Amino acid sequence: MTTHPALEVTDLSFAFGPRFALERVSFEVRAGEFMVLLGPNGAGKTTLFSLITRLYESRDGGVRIHGHDVRRQATRALARIGVVFQQPTLDLDLNVRQNLLYHAALHGLGRAEAGQRIAAELDRLDMAGRANDKVRRLAGGHRRRVEIARALLHRPRVLLLDEPTVGLDVPSRRGIVAHVHRLCREDGIAVLWATHLIDEVFDDDRIVLLHQGSIRAQGSVDAVLQVAGATSVGQAFDTLTGAPAAETGADAP
């Protein structure tokens, strides 16, 4: 029996007018794998996420989720992914539980089942005590945790996170990165984590290094270092993009 990649991107291109935002991008993410989509601002990371989730559509190349084509089998493909977008999307005037119940209803979950899943996800994220708090009262790191819990309610097999830690303090960032790595190990979820912050790359992660819409290197950390002739991920980032790598959230826009 053929085992499909959890996420497969093949020769994907997209242009805004005459300018290519992505050009012939190909990679795959396997179940239980943490893939870092690493690149400076403007590299094309958000455009790629928009194509995977069908916010944009391209006729050049393709995207498959567990073997399902996102154009021809959109319902089956998109039902298998959870997304944390770069811009926050929680309703600030609802409490945490209300935000999550609304999302669960969109996925057709009954109230009893939704309540059980919400409790479980909030507990895993150390947010159980904040379920009745209005979102506007939460710090940025706690809001991101709620968005991750929301993305996991329908039990996706692929989790996409677009610069999810931008603007957060270092302890909050580290806690979120560590939690998502645990999801890979414990639940077998495939993760595509977009960032320009090199300290979010773990030694056993795989990397797709994107710059100006094209892949400059991909593979294990060691493979990317070898391509760049570098001794660190930061040095590889500098060499392959010509841009200084951001080490901490203080450098985020």
Q: Is the CA virtual torsion 7, 16, 212, 148 positive or negative?
A: negative
**Domain annotation covers residue 12:** yes
Written as one string, the DSSP assignment of 210-242 is EETTEEEEEEEHHHHHHHHT-SSHHHHHHHHHS
**Domain annotation covers residue 146:** yes
Residues 163, 60, single domain; the answer is: yes
Please check the confidence at residue 253 and state whether its pLDDT lies above 90.
no
pLDDT at 2: 52
Distance of CA 83 to the CA centre of its chain: 7
Provide the mean pLDDT of the chain. 92
Residues 54, 178, single domain; the answer is: yes
Domain containing 110 equals: 91-155
**Domain annotation covers residue 1:** no
pLDDT in tens, 156-212: 999 999 999 988 989 999 999 999 999 999 999 999 999 999 999 999 999 999 999
Residues 162, 48, single domain; the answer is: yes
Boundary-marking domain end, from 155, 171, 201: 155
Please check the confidence at residue 1 and state whether its pLDDT lies above 50.
no
Alpha-carbon span 67 to 57, nearest angstrom: 18
Please check the confidence at residue 4 and state whether its pLDDT lies above 90.
no
Which backbone phi and psi does 191 adopt, to 5 degrees? -120, 135
Residues 47, 169, single domain; the answer is: yes
CA-to-CA separations, 10 to 21, 22, 158, 213, in angstroms, rounded: 15, 12, 17, 14
Residues 171, 189, single domain; the answer is: yes
CATH number, residue 193: 3.40.50.300
Please check the confidence at residue 241 and state whether its pLDDT lies above 90.
yes
Structure tokens at 28: 């795959």
pLDDT in tens, 86-97: 888 999 999 999
**Domain annotation covers residue 110:** yes
**Domain annotation covers residue 96:** yes
Query: How many structural domains compose the chain?
Result: 2
Residues 135, 225, single domain; the answer is: no
Residues 70, 181, single domain; the answer is: yes
pLDDT at 88: 86
Grade residue 139 by pLDDT with cuts at 50, 70 and 90.
Answer: very high
**Domain annotation covers residue 180:** yes
